[in-house]
C-alpha cells in the first residue's frame, strides 16, 4: 500500500493545518487568562511560533494565556517537533536509504511516494525516544523544583513538564517572562534542560546510529559523524566565544562566580543554536555576542530533529568542499568517505536560498520599522532558524512585521527541509549537454 501525496507538499500542508487549528484554538476566550479572546494576529503569531518550535512571542506566555492556552501551545510545539522529526527522517530515508543511493533514488523519483509501513514504524520509534527522554528530564526538573524551590507538586509538575517538552522540541517557550533567568546559577535545572535540547536537536538519524552502533563508531553514517563533530565544534566555539565576549559584561555574566560564568556561557552556546531559551537577558549581551548568535542561529542543529537553521550537516558539507578546493583535492571527503556531488549542490542551494531569505527579510523589516539593524538581523535570523531568542523588539513590531516573522519561521522550519527533499526528488538527466566554459572567478 502506498501513500498518495508528494511528500514535501504533504509536510507543508500538515504544518499549515496545524497552524490554522492552533490559531482558532488560541482565539477562544478560554485560551486567554482574562477570558476575552486573543486578537487574530496574537493567536496566529503564537500558533506559528509554537508549531514551528520557535518560541518568539508578542505576549508573555505565562500571564497572557490561561492554563488551557498554555497547554494548547505546549501540544502545538510537541506536535510540531514530533511531526518534523518524523517527516524529516522519512524524507531523509527516501533519498538516503541505502549506500546504493542512485538506484534507490531513481526508483523513488519515479513513484514519489512513501510506503505507509515506513511512516508508522519511523513514527513509532520517534515517539518512544520522545516519551523516554522527556520522562527522564521532566522527573528531574519536577523533583528539583519541588525539593529545591519549595514549589507545590502541581506547580512543579506543570512548570517541569512545560519546560521539558519545550526543551526537547527546541521550542524555547517558557511560562516565565524572563525565560530561565531565575535558574541561571542552578546546574540542576540548566543541565537537564541542555541535555533535552541536545538530544532533541541532534536529529533522529544520529540518535539511531548512537543507539544501534554505540560501541562501533567506525560504522556510523557519514551524516552522523559530520553532525556530531560539527556540533561539538560549534558548542565548544560558541562556549569559548561567549565566555570571552561576556566575561566582563556587568549586565550579564560579569558579576557571576567563575563556575556560573562557565555554566551560562555553555548554556548560551547550547541554546543559541536553536533552542532559544535564555538564562540571561539577550538584550544586554555585547554586540559581538549578538554577532556570534547570528552565526550559531543561522547554522542551527542536526537534520531531521527538532532543531532549526540550515543544519550542521549542511554547513559541514560546505566546509569539506572548500577544504578540498583549498587543498587542491578533487573530492570533498571526510572520515574515509567522499561527499556526493549532488549533496554538495543541495547544501549550497539550501545555504544560498536561506541567506537570500534572511537578507530579504532583513531589508523588509528595516523598511517597515525603525529598529536598529543589529536588532532586526537578530530577530530575522532567530525567526528563520526557529530559535526564538529576541533582543526584545518582537512585540513592538507592526502587524506587517510580525507577519513577516511568521513567514520566516514557517519557511525556516518547513521550507529548508522540504526544499532539500524536493531538490533530490526533482533531479533528472538532460538529453543534451552544452559545451563547457570556465568563466573567471575572483
Within positions 354 to 393, which residues make up the interface with its own copies, using CB under 8 A?
359, 362-363, 366-367, 372-374, 376-377
Measured from the CB atom, is 54 or 164 closer to K ion?
A: 54
* Phi, psi for 60 (deg, rounded to 5): -75, 115
Which of 7, 69, 313, 385 binds its own copies (CB under 8 A)? It is: 313
Give residue for cell 517597515: 368
Q: Which residues of 111-124 are buried (b: 16+ CB within 10 A; e: fewer)?
A: ebebeeeebeebbe
Measured from the CB atom, is 83 or 192 closer to its own copies?
A: 83
Q: Does 216 bind its own copies (CB under 8 A)?
A: no
Judged by beta carbon distances under 5 to 8 A according to partner kind, the member of K ion, its own copies, none in contact with residue 286 is: its own copies
Interface characters, 58-97, with its own copies (x: CB under 8 A): ----------------------------------x--xx-
Measured from the CB atom, is 104 or 176 closer to its own copies?
A: 104
Measured from the CB atom, is 95 or 404 closer to K ion?
A: 404
Q: Write the DSSP symbol of residue 272.
A: I
Task: Tell me if 285 sits within 8 A of 264, measured CB to CB.
Answer: no
Which residues, 6 or more positions from 153, have their beta carbon under 8 angstroms from its beta carbon? 142, 146
Judged by beta carbon distances under 5 to 8 A according to partner kind, the member of its own copies, K ion, none in contact with residue 172 is: K ion
Q: Does 288 bind its own copies (CB under 8 A)?
A: yes
Q: Does 435 bind its own copies (CB under 8 A)?
A: yes
Whole-number minimum distance, CB 421 to its own copies, in Å?
Answer: 8
Which of 222, 272, 282, 299 binds its own copies (CB under 8 A)? It is: 222
Whole-number minimum distance, CB 266 to its own copies, in Å?
Answer: 20
Measured from the CB atom, is 59 or 351 closer to its own copies?
A: 351
Stretch that binds its own copies, among 125-133, 274-282, 326-334, 383-391 (CB under 8 A): 326-334
Q: How far apart, in Å, are the Cα atoms of 2 and each of 7, 96, 104, 108, 111?
A: 12, 19, 16, 12, 10
Measured from the CB atom, is 105 or 197 closer to K ion?
A: 197
Task: Tell me if 269 sits within 8 A of 279, measured CB to CB.
Answer: no
Which of 343, 389, 405, 408 binds its own copies (CB under 8 A)? It is: 343
Q: Write the DSSP symbol of residue 398.
A: -
Which of 281, 333, 399, 400 binds its own copies (CB under 8 A)? It is: 333
Cα separation, 189 vs 38, in Å, equals 32
Measured from the CB atom, is 92 or 201 closer to its own copies?
A: 92
* Positive/negative CA dihedral, 237, 241, 242, 243: positive
What are the residues binding K ion (CB under 5 A)?
54-55, 170, 172, 276, 388
How far apart are the two ends of the chain, measured CA to CA in Å?
53
Whole-number minimum distance, CB 18 to its own copies, in Å?
Answer: 20
Within positions 226 to 255, which residues make up the interface with its own copies, using CB under 8 A?
226-227, 245
Q: Which residues of 20-59 are buried (b: 16+ CB within 10 A; e: fewer)?
A: eebbebbbbeebbbeeeebeeebbbbbbbbbbbbbbbbbb
Nearest CA to 182 among 212, 153, 144, 234?
Answer: 144
Cα separation, 315 vs 107, in Å, equals 28
Amino acid at each position: 500500500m502506498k501513500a498518495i501525496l508528494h511528500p514535501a507538499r504533504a509536510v507543508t500542508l500538515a504544518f499549515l493545518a496545524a497552524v490554522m487549528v492552533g490559531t482558532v484554538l488560541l482565539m477562544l476566550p478560554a485560551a486567554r487568562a482574562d477570558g476575552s479572546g486573543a486578537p487574530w494576529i496574537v493567536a496566529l503569531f503564537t500558533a506559528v511560533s509554537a508549531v514551528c518550535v520557535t518560541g518568539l512571542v508578542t505576549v508573555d506566555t505565562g500571564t497572557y494565556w490561561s492554563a488551557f492556552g498554555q497547554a494548547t501551545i505546549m501540544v502545538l510545539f510537541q506536535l510540531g517537533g514530533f511531526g518534523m522529526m518524523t517527516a524529516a527522517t522519512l524524507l531523509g530515508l527516501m533519498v538516503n536509504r541505502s549506500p546504493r543511493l542512485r538506484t534507490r533514488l531513481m526508483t523513488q523519483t519515479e513513484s514519489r511516494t512513501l510506503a505507509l509501513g515506513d511512516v508508522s514504524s519511523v513514527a513509532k520509534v520517534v515517539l518512544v525516544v520522545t516519551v523516554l527522554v522527556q520522562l527522564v528530564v521532566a522527573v528531574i526538573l519536577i523533583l528539583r523544583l519541588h525539593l529545591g524551590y519549595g514549589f507545590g507538586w502541581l506547580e512543579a509538575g506543570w512548570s517541569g513538564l512545560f519546560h521539558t517538552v519545550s526543551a526537547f522540541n527546541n521550542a524555547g517557550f517558557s511560562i516565565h517572562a524572563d525565560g530561565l533567568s531565575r535558574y541561571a546559577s542552578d546546574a540542576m535545572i540548566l543541565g537537564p534542560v541542555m541535555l533535552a535540547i541536545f538530544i532533541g536537536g541532534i536529529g533522529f538519524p544520529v540518535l539511531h546510529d548512537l543507539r544501534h552502533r554505540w560501541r562501533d563508531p567506525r560504522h556510523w553514517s557519514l551524516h552522523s559523524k559530520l553532525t556530531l563533530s560539527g556540533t561539538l565544534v560549534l558548542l565548544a566555539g560558541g562556549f569559548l566565544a561567549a565566555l570571552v565576549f561576556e566575561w566582563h559584561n556587568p549586565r550579564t555574566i560579569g558579576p557571576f562566580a567563575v563556575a556560573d560564568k562557565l555554566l551560562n556561557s555553555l548554556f548560551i552556546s547550547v541554546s543559541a543554536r536553536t533552542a532559544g531559551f535564555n538564562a540571561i537577558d539577550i538584550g544586554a549581551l555585547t554586540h559581538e555576542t549578538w554577532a556570534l548568535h547570528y552565526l550559531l542561529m543561522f547554522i542551527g542543529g542536526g537534520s531531521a530533529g527538532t532543531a532549526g537553521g540550515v543544519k550542521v550537516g549542511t554547513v559541514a558539507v560546505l566546509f569539506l568542499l572548500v577544504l578540498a578546493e583549498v587543498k587542491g583535492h578533487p573530492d570533498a571527503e571526510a572520515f574515509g568517505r567522499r561527499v556526493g556531488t549532488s549533496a554538495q549542490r543541495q547544501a549550497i542551494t539550501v545555504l544560498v536560498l536561506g541567506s537570500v531569505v534572511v537578507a530579504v527579510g532583513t531589508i523588509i523589516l528595516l523598511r517597515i520599522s525603525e529598529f536598529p539593524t543589529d536588532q532586526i538581523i537578530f530577530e530575522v535570523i532567530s525567526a528563520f532558524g526557529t530559535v526564538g531568542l529576541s533582543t526584545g523588539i518582537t512585540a513592538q513590531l507592526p502587524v506587517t512585521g510580525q507577519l513577516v516573522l511568521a513567514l520566516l519561521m514557517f519557511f525556516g522550519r518547513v521550507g529548508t527541509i522540504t526544499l532539500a527533499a524536493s531538490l533530490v526528488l526533482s533531479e533528472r538527466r538532460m538529453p543534451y549537454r552544452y559545451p563547457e566554459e570556465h568563466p573567471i572567478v575572483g
